[in-house]
Structure 1
Amino acid sequence: MTDPAAAPGTLAQQAYGALKSRILEGGFAPEDMLTERGLAAASGVSRTPLRAAISRLEAEGVIARLPGGALMIRPVTAETLLEIVQTRRLLEAAAAARAAERIAAGAPLPATLEASRDTMRAYAEGRDTAFDTFWADDDAFHAAVAETAGLQLLPELLAQMRAEARRCTITRAHDRFAEQAAEHLAVIEAIAAGRPDAARAAMEAHLESVRARFLGWLGRP
C-alpha cells in the first residue's frame, strides 16, 4: 500500500509550505538568486515536488524565474507595502465596525478575541518577544476581528496581504511591540463595548500608525 504522506501532491504541498515559510521568515533576502538544484539539496526534497512548489510561488508573485532557469526572490517594494496598508485600512475599519454592531445586537464576544485581548495586554505591559512570535499574535488579532464581524472571505484576503507585507525587509526592523498592542486593545475594547464608530476609528488609527511606522523606517539612513 502507498503511504499517503509520500504522495506527490502531499510532498509538493510540504515543499511549498517549507519554502514559503523560509521566505517569509527572512531565510532568503529579496533578489537572492537560487537554483532548483540548490533548493532540492538544502531541503532534501526531490525535484518534481519542488518544481510544483516553485510554480505555485511563481504564480503568487513570490519567486521569479529568470532567463537561463535561475530563480529570484521578488522584492516587495515600499509602494506595494503602503498600498497594502491602505487597502487593509478600508477593509478592516469596516470589519471592526461590523463586529461592534454584532456585539451590540447581542452576539457573544468570540473566545479568539478574548484571548487576543489577554495577549495584547501582556505586550502593552512590556512583554518582549521575537518578531515572528509577535507577527503570529498580530495575525490572530486581525483574524479574530474578522471572525467577530462574521466575515468569511476577509481572513483569507488579510492572510494574503499580510504574507506579502511580511516579505518586505523593513517590516522586520521593529522589535518592540507595546505601542501596536495598545492600538489593538483600543479596537478590542470598542468592539466589546458594542461601539461601531469607536471601533472603526480605532482600527483606522491603528493602520494609520502602521503606515507612519513604515514611512519612518523608510526614512532611516
Structure 2
Amino acid sequence: MRASDRAYATLLDEIQDGALPPGTVLGEVEQAARLGVSRTPLREALGRLAADGLVAQQSPRVTVVTPIDADDIREIFEVRRALEESAARLAAQRGDAAAFAELEREFATADLAGPDGREAYYRLIARFDRELDAAVANDYLTAALRTVRTHLVRVRRLARDNPERLTASVREHRLIASALAARDADLAAHATHVHLHNALTNILESIS
C-alpha cells in the first residue's frame, strides 16, 4: 500500500470513529511525523479527505477536521434518500434474489444482545450495502453512495446509543431485503424511505 493510501486510511478511520473530532487541527509537520510518512504523501491524503468534505484547509500547512451539525446531517440525508431509494428500485430489478433472501434471513436472526451483537450487525449492513451496489451495477450511482456513506459513519458516531432504534433498524433492513428478494421495486423504495426517515429523526433527536 502506498504511503499516501496508508495515511488516508488512518486519518479517515480516526475522523470517522471520533478520535479526531470536528475542529481538530492537523498540522502538516506533526501529522507526517505521527503517521511515519513524508509531507508529500500526507498532502495527498489530506487532499483526498478535503475532496470527501471531511477536512478543510485553513492555511498552506494547517488543515482542520470539518464540523458537522444538524443542518449538515439533514443535507446528507436529502442526498442519501434520493440515491438509496433509486438504488433500491434498481436492485429489485437487477439483483440476485437469492442473495437478498439470505440477507433477509440473517437480519431475521440478528442478535443485538450478543457479545459482538452491535458490531456484527454493522458488518451485516456493510454486506447488504455491497450486495446492493453489485445489484445496481451503476458505477456513478455507487460512487455517489460511497461518498455519502463516508459521512454516515461519522454521523452514526455522533448519535447516542439507542437500543430501541437499533432493534427497529434490524426490522427495517429485513423488510428492505425481503422486498428486494421478491423483486418488488415499489416496496423496496418505500421501505428504504421509511428507514431513512426514522434514522434521521433518531439522529437529530439524539444530538439535540
TM-score between the two structures when normalised by the length of structure 1: 0.78
Equivalent in the alignment of 1:77 = 69
Amino acid at match of 1:52: E
Matches within 5 A, 1:1-221: 10-67=2-59, 69-102=61-94, 108-109=96-97, 111=99, 113-114=100-101, 116-123=103-110, 126-127=113-114, 129=116, 134-168=121-155, 171-174=158-161, 176=163, 177-219=166-208
Cα separation, 2, equivalents of 1:102 and 1:54: 37
Cα separation, 1, equivalents of 2:27 and 2:195: 40
- Assess, with a 3 A threshold, how the Cα gap between structure 1 residues 193 and 126 changes in structure 2: closer, same or farther: farther
Cα separation, 2, equivalents of 1:181 and 1:137: 10
TM-align CA RMSD: 2.7
Deviation at 1:66, TM superposition (A): 1.8
Deviation at 1:51, TM superposition (A): 2.1
Cα separation, 1, equivalents of 2:180 and 2:83: 16
Deviation at 1:184, TM superposition (A): 0.4
- Assess, with a 3 A threshold, how the Cα gap between structure 1 residues 203 and 140 changes in structure 2: closer, same or farther: same
Cα separation, 2, equivalents of 1:55 and 1:92: 27
Percent identity among equivalent residues? Answer: 26
Amino acid at match of 1:49: P
Deviation at 1:138, TM superposition (A): 2.4
Gaps of 5+ in 1: none
Amino acid at match of 2:134: E
Deviation at 1:196, TM superposition (A): 2.0
Deviation at 1:157, TM superposition (A): 1.2
Gaps of 5+ in 2: none
Q: Report how many aligned residue pairs link the two structures.
A: 206
Cα separation, 2, equivalents of 1:148 and 1:110: 12
TM-score between the two structures when normalised by the length of structure 2: 0.83
4+ residue stretches of structure 1 with deviation over 6 A? none
Cα separation, 1, equivalents of 2:141 and 2:111: 26
Alignment check: 8 A CA contact 1:34 1:72 kept? yes
Amino acid at match of 1:109: A
Deviation at 1:42, TM superposition (A): 2.0
Deviation at 1:71, TM superposition (A): 2.2
- Assess, with a 3 A threshold, how the Cα gap between structure 1 residues 25 and 131 changes in structure 2: closer, same or farther: farther
Amino acid at match of 1:181: V
- Assess, with a 3 A threshold, how the Cα gap between structure 1 residues 40 and 149 changes in structure 2: closer, same or farther: closer
Deviation at 1:126, TM superposition (A): 4.3
2:139 match: secondary structure: coil
